Structure 1
Amino acid sequence: MSTAAQSPGDYSSVSDPERALKYAIRHIAGDRAEIIEGVITPMSPSWAHESAAEVIRRQLGPRMDVLDLVSGSGNLDLPGSENWYVPDLAVVPADLAAKTEGALLPDQTLLIVEVSSPSNADTDRVVKRRRYGQYGAPLYLLVDRQNRTCTLYSEPTRLGYAGESGPHPFGTPVHLPAPFDLDLDTTRL
């Protein structure tokens, strides 16, 4: 039995394109790359971007210790789609993070934070907001640096999020509900 020769760049015989694309992102593109609606997108956040995520992380720290949670920017898989995200910050149960070598699913998080950049602001505002809701992430905090606002999305549905608090101008406290029950100070974002 012989098979036809496959020419370079012809992926028509790949049996599972989603699996192949996600393999490529994990093994070829590197740790700081995402797949957004099928497009491999390298990430190179600025110091200001990283600083905003750190402001949120530090405020969450004491509550995370009490609740046995950890935060990081580990991979999130959205199975059944051509999406593989690396959030700026995700909060997950410590025991789950400790035993997970690969990606987690959005519904395994307690909070996802994305900090917008000029190059990805619309992706964070529209695409990720919809996808995180569809995949059951309970809370999604968008730190929109271009508009200088924070918006908290909650109540995930198959269409996105049903609940929205904001946009709150930087400097206005943003309340994170249970299990955090914490008012975030957004002055330094």
Structure 2
Amino acid sequence: MTVMAERTSSQMSVAEFERIAEFAARESEAVRFEFIDGRIGVKKVTNGNHGAIIMWLIRQCMQARPELDLNPTQGLKVEAYRRGRARPDGVLAPVAHFAGQGDWADTHGVLMAVEITSYDSDTHNRDRVEKPRAYAEAGIPVYLLIDRDNLSILVHSDPDLEDGYRDIHVVRLGGKVTLPDPVSIELDTEDLKQYVD
């Protein structure tokens, strides 16, 4: 579950957010923090099916493109001017791309960000509205959303800094989907149907 704190007139700085997120990470592994559109998001650690989906996707990416890593823990500096901080469910980049970059890496060189919807009240706003806009503003070429609520796979591509992603391709869960360049991976999502609960 994600809880978003509304913006106030004295908005928190990115440095203040990073200190809070670092402290929380030391104290508990039960939540992850994000800072998008000037709001703090508290993201609960995922359930088994959520984790099974990301592990399935890691295997698919490794088989198709062994020169790439799908990192399920890397935080990113997102939004225009890198004023936001996101923790995608997966970040596709060249092997060892994030070495030495710390908790919040720049998005230069990232090929794809991945999110898997959670069964909470904020998933629509977070995964379908805020994250696509933030990832497009950061110039990430592909955003893959595995939408368990709507039993679909959404492939966002052709990012625009002002308008978000200009191309969104939707496939029913269980179908085949091609992730466009620079990812260039075809996925048969039939196996994912067992993890939608």
Output the TM-score relative to the length of structure 2: 0.78
Instruction: Provide the secondary structure at the position in 1 that maps to 2:65.
Output: helix
Give the conservation status (yes or no) of the 8 Å contact 1:70–1:97. no
The more displaced of 176-185 and 118-127 is 176-185
Give 5+ residue unaligned stretches, structure 2: 1-9, 193-197
Q: Residues 49 and 97 from structure 1, CA distance in 2 versus in 1: closer, same or farther, beyond 3 angstroms?
A: same
Query: Shift in Å at residue 51 of structure 1?
Result: 1.0
Q: Give the secondary-structure state (helix, strand or coil) at the position aligned to 1:146.
A: coil
- C-alpha RMSD of matched pairs (Å): 2.1
- Equivalent in 187, 190, 196 of residue 187 of structure 1: 190
Q: Does 2:94 match 1:93?
A: yes
Match of 1:177 in 2: 180
Rg larger in structure: 1
Q: Shift in Å at residue 141 of structure 1? A: 0.4
> How far apart are 1:106 and its partner, in Å?
3.1
Matches within 5 A, 1:72-91: 72-73=71-72, 74-78=74-78, 80=81, 83-91=84-92
Shift >4 Å, 4+ stretches: 79-82
2:157–2:180 CA contact under 8 A, matched in 1: no
Distance 2:69 2:82 in 1: 26
Residues 106 and 43 of structure 1: CA distance in aligned 2, closer, same or farther (over 3 Å): farther
Counterpart in the other structure of 2:64: 63
Q: CA deviation at 1:82?
A: 5.4
Uncovered stretches (5+) of structure 1, i.e. residues with no partner:
1-11
Choose 154-163 or 88-97, whichever is displaced more: 88-97
Give the one of 9, 20, 23 matched to 1:28.
23
Matched pairs, number: 172
Deviations 1:122-151 (A, max 9, x none): 110111011111111100000000101001
User: Structure 1 residue 121 and structure 2 residue 126: aligned?
Assistant: no
- Inter-partner Cα distance in structure 1 for 2:104 and 2:95: 14
More strand by share: 2
Q: Distance in 2 between matches of 1:183 and 1:33?
A: 31
- 2:134 corresponds to: 131
1:75 Cα deviation (Å)?
A: 0.8
